[in-house]
Structure 1
Amino acid sequence: MKPRKAELLLIMVTLFWGSSYIFMKMGLDSLGEFNLIALRFGLAFILAAILFHKRLRSSINLRTLKYASLLGLLLLGVFTCITFGLQTTTMSNAGFLVALTVVFVPMLEVLVFRKKVAPPQIFGTVLAIAGIGLLTLNGSLHIQPGDFLCILAALFYAVQILVTARAVKSCDSLNIGILQLGFAGGYALVLSAIFEAPSLPSSMPGWIAILALGILCSACGFILQPVAQQYTTPTRTGLIFSLEPVFAAFFGYWFAGEQLSLQGYAGAALVMLGIVASELLGKMPADSHPLRGLKKRRAHL
């Protein structure tokens, strides 16, 4: 596969993920939060398991199941926070706040693994935090519960990414990706049985939401992502994924009439700048970083 085709696939995946917020809003009109998550990931798991049943049967082991169960739990945390968060925040806010995962990953690497953080990532984090303040704080300096939950979702997702990076070193990445969908759906079904009354959608918009979330946003997204990523660079992948909140804001404006205030647009811009700074500048080789290159040239003068 040529890099350009792979990147077009990644843009399509990002478009699916950006649209997921409007579909979650649609589904919540007729389904409970855990019920929605259970149907979404249950459907995605069934489709992916059917498609890759031979590979699943031949290479599943206890280590893979352990990692998949943990990743499924983290995935449940991500989407529980997003789903409940959408009750009290906009799709635009949710998209930009969940995208903070890109900033949280290097922060957690510093705190947990004692890795050194690059100056551009510090700069990106400061920009993102300023953007969060503008996006979420009202005149009385209070944050909406939904905004806080979406920030928590980004933190869960960052942990999930770090655990995945560790898991794929000793397990089949595709199997882990498929099995975590099944575990996430199973956990959500149990919670739905305890706190809700599990049911199928009772309206056409509900069915559309579940089919779109299960097939496009989850099954296709989780299958196409690792396939396409093999043919492009991690930096370009990260920059493409940073388009998710832009797509989320577009769908929120187009289908739900959501508009950000001037303060909100400023906050969204700062979050995007922080994400791009962390993702692009933070991964530059030492010699190619513009500031370090300038110092090196001065040393030769």
Structure 2
Amino acid sequence: MQTKFTANAMLLLVTLFWGFSYLFMKMGLNFVQEYNLIALRFGIAFCLAAVIFSARLRKANLQTIRYAFVLGFILFLVFSCILFGIKFTSTSHAAFLVSLTVIFVPIITALISKKVPESKVMIGVIFALLGVGLLTLDSQLSINFGDVLCIAGALFYATHIVVTEKLTKAVDSILLGTIQLGFAGALGLIFSLFLEVPRFPVATEEWIPILVLSILCSAIGFIVQTVAQQHTTPTNTGLIFSLEPVFAAVFAFLFLGEILSMQGWIGALLVLCGVIYSQVNWSRKEIM
């Protein structure tokens, strides 16, 4: 029981980190461009993880590297969508839309297995779709381009989770996670070199968001998640991760002054309800 409590506490800490990652991504984009930020965030995270797991890295084989490239590429797509998305939408909108990942995962899994999703997932989808409509549609019933990108980011992230579950069975999961960070950073650097004017942060206020994203949200976040999920249930993990957009909305209000409209809050609540409902085993009431 104590181990499970500790694991849940670790996941809550990771969720807190990821909640304020939207705030720091928005701050980071004031100093560097999107692909440049991806290159710095994941490049630094990879270097830190490589130092910690240097002994494991020396044992990397071609299969692990190949799998890591696939995951790194998907991770690159995830954060490309999110970073470009938050340029055109609010931090709160982005966080609640990316939380749709939790609903996309069972849908993608069902499509792969060619099985109808569970009823709780379908009900969760209905809640989430209603919420997304209220959260994103304006009076002309048009959706913001940034919101579309964030939803695409959630879809790619769900794909990343499903693919990770398949690939990690055959190789060292920590080694796989470490190398994927390197590939994501390398792809960010390549795109930045061709499409942007890459630069290193200079002043302290420029380095703060980059280092927070690299150390807390990426290096520590991914490693702690991997360790913690060995000692808790998928239901607990999903429920804890559903708090991410709530943390993001609080930080956006405190530090950016972002305020959702009443329609936005109702939509956000419906998205959150849909995410939570899809994760709870209602037949057994195994919430904890």
- CA distance in 2 between partners of 1:113 and 1:189 (Å): 36
Return 5+ residue gaps in structure 1 as ranges: 291-301
Asked if structure 2 preserves the Cα contact closer than 8 Å seen for 1:30 and 1:203, the reply is: no
Could you say which residue in structure 1 is the equivalent of 2:229? Answer: 229
- CA distance in 1 between partners of 2:211 and 2:73 (Å): 22
Q: Deviations over 1:251-292 (max 9, x none)?
A: 1000000010000000000000100111113xx5x6x379xx
- CA distance in 1 between partners of 2:152 and 2:117 (Å): 22
1:270-289 map, 5 Å: 270-281=270-281, 288=284
Write the letter of the residue equivalent to 1:163.
Answer: V
- CA distance in 1 between partners of 2:138 and 2:43 (Å): 38
- CA distance in 2 between partners of 1:99 and 1:69 (Å): 24
Write the letter of the residue equivalent to 1:198.
Answer: P
- CA distance in 2 between partners of 1:26 and 1:48 (Å): 24
What SS does the corresponding residue of 1:2 show, helix, strand or coil? helix
Could you say which residue in structure 2 is the equivalent of 1:186? Answer: 186
Asked if structure 2 preserves the Cα contact closer than 8 Å seen for 1:26 and 1:205, the reply is: no
Q: Deviations over 1:86-141 (max 9, x none)?
A: 11100100000000001111111222321331111100001001100000000001
Write the letter of the residue equivalent to 2:10.
Answer: L
Q: TM-score, normalised by structure 1?
A: 0.92
Identical aligned residues as a percent = 52
Write the letter of the residue equivalent to 1:19.
Answer: F
Write the letter of the residue equivalent to 2:29.
Answer: L
In the TM superposition, residue 188 of structure 1 has moved relative to its aligned partner by 0.4
What SS does the corresponding residue of 2:7 show, helix, strand or coil? helix
Q: Deviations over 1:191-237 (max 9, x none)?
A: 00000111101332220010000000000001100111111111111
Could you say which residue in structure 2 is the equivalent of 1:294? Answer: none
Asked whether 1:79 is paired with 2:91, we answer no
Q: Deviations over 1:129-173 (max 9, x none)?
A: 110000000000111111000000000001101110100111111
Write the letter of the residue equivalent to 1:25.
Answer: K
- CA distance in 1 between partners of 2:173 and 2:115 (Å): 24
Q: Which of structures 1 and 2 has the bigger CA Rg?
A: 1
Write the letter of the residue equivalent to 1:265.
Answer: W
Asked whether 1:70 is paired with 2:70, we answer yes
Q: Which moved more, 1:106-115 or 1:12-21?
A: 106-115
Q: TM-score, normalised by structure 2?
A: 0.96
Write the letter of the residue equivalent to 1:121.
Answer: V
Could you say which residue in structure 2 is the equivalent of 1:144? Answer: 144
Asked if structure 2 preserves the Cα contact closer than 8 Å seen for 1:27 and 1:205, the reply is: no
Asked if structure 2 preserves the Cα contact closer than 8 Å seen for 1:101 and 1:154, the reply is: yes
Could you say which residue in structure 2 is the equivalent of 1:100? Answer: 100
Asked whether 1:61 is paired with 2:50, we answer no
Asked whether 1:6 is paired with 2:7, we answer yes
Could you say which residue in structure 2 is the equivalent of 1:130? Answer: 130
Could you say which residue in structure 1 is the equivalent of 2:245? Answer: 245
- CA distance in 2 between partners of 1:180 and 1:241 (Å): 21
